[in-house]
Amino acid sequence: MNEETIFIGPEALPALQTLLVRPTVSRVFVLVDANTRRWCYDVLRPYLPENHHIIEIAAGEEYKTLASCEAVWSQLTEERTDRHAVLVNLGGGVVTDLGGFCAALYKRGIRFVQVPTTLLAQVDASVGGKTGVDFQGFKNQIGVFQEPTAVCIEPRFLLTLEPRQLKAGYAEVVKHWLIADAKAFARNRRLGIFTDDWTPIIRESVDLKQRIVAQDPLESGLRKLLNFGHTVGHALESYLLTQPGREILHGEAVAAGMICETWLSYHRGLLSAEELDQVETFLFTVFEKVQFITLETEAIAEFALQDKKNAGTTINCTLLKGLGHGVFDQPVTLTDIADSLRYYHRL
Note the helical H segments in the chain: 12-20, 34-39, 41-44, 66-78, 93-105, 119-120, 163-180, 182-188, 199-215, 230-241, 250-267, 273-286, 297-302, 334-346
Is 219 labeled as catalytic in the residue annotation? yes
The residue annotated as part of the active site, out of 27, 64, 111, 130, is 130
The pLDDT mean for the chain works out to 95
Per-residue model confidence (pLDDT) at position 110: 98
* Domain spans in the chain, listed from the N-terminal domain onward: 3-160, 163-346
Distance CA 51, CA 72 (A): 18
Q: pLDDT (tens digit, 9 = 90+) per residue, 134-191? A: 999 889 999 999 999 999 999 999 999 999 999 999 999 999 999 999 999 998 887 7
For residues 131, 142, 162 and 29, what is the CA-based torsion angle, rounded to 10 degrees? 50
DSSP 263-303: HHHHHTTSS-HHHHHHHHHHHHHHSPPPP--GGGHHHHHHG
The residue annotated as part of the active site, out of 27, 250, 252, 275, is 250
The residue annotated as part of the active site, out of 2, 4, 78, 108, is 108
Residues across the chain: 347
Q: pLDDT (tens digit, 9 = 90+) per residue, 40-49? A: 999 999 999 9
Is 130 labeled as catalytic in the residue annotation? yes
Distance CA 116, CA 134 (A): 19
The residue annotated as part of the active site, out of 35, 140, 188, 227, is 227
Count Cβ atoms within 10 A of the Cβ of residue 326 and give its class: 0-12 exposed, 13-18 middle, 19 or more buried. buried
Type of residue at 261: E
Per-residue model confidence (pLDDT) at position 2: 52
Res 303 pLDDT > 60: yes
The residue annotated as part of the active site, out of 172, 252, 261, 275, is 172
The residue annotated as part of the active site, out of 27, 139, 175, 230, is 230
Per-residue model confidence (pLDDT) at position 4: 61
Pair 315, 337: CB distance under 8 Å: yes
Region 15-21: what's the mean pLDDT?
97
Distance CA 17, CA 46 (A): 9
Distance CA 11, CA 83 (A): 27
Per-residue model confidence (pLDDT) at position 194: 72
Region 63-74: what's the mean pLDDT?
98
Percent of the chain beyond pLDDT 90? Answer: 92
Is 111 labeled as catalytic in the residue annotation? no
| Domain 163-346 listed as CATH 1.10.357.10 | no
Res 128 pLDDT > 60: yes
Distance CA 138, CA 66 (A): 13
Q: pLDDT (tens digit, 9 = 90+) per residue, 309-322? A: 888 889 999 999 99
Is 35 labeled as catalytic in the residue annotation? no
Res 3 pLDDT > 80: no
Is 108 labeled as catalytic in the residue annotation? yes
Region 289-295: what's the mean pLDDT?
96
The residue annotated as part of the active site, out of 219, 237, 275, 280, is 219
- For 3-160, the fitting CATH number among 3.30.2130.10, 3.40.50.300, 3.40.50.1970, 3.40.462.20 is 3.40.50.1970
Per-residue model confidence (pLDDT) at position 264: 98
The residue annotated as part of the active site, out of 27, 176, 209, 224, is 209
Q: pLDDT (tens digit, 9 = 90+) per residue, 204-260? A: 999 999 999 999 999 999 999 999 999 999 999 999 999 999 999 999 999 999 999
Q: pLDDT (tens digit, 9 = 90+) per residue, 334-346? A: 999 999 999 999 9
The residue annotated as part of the active site, out of 64, 111, 176, 223, is 223
Region 273-289: what's the mean pLDDT?
96
Confidence band (pLDDT; 50, 70, 90) for 62? very high
Confidence band (pLDDT; 50, 70, 90) for 196? confident
Per-residue model confidence (pLDDT) at position 191: 73
Pair 283, 189: CB distance under 8 Å: no
Per-residue model confidence (pLDDT) at position 198: 93
Is 172 labeled as catalytic in the residue annotation? yes
The residue annotated as part of the active site, out of 147, 234, 237, 252, is 234
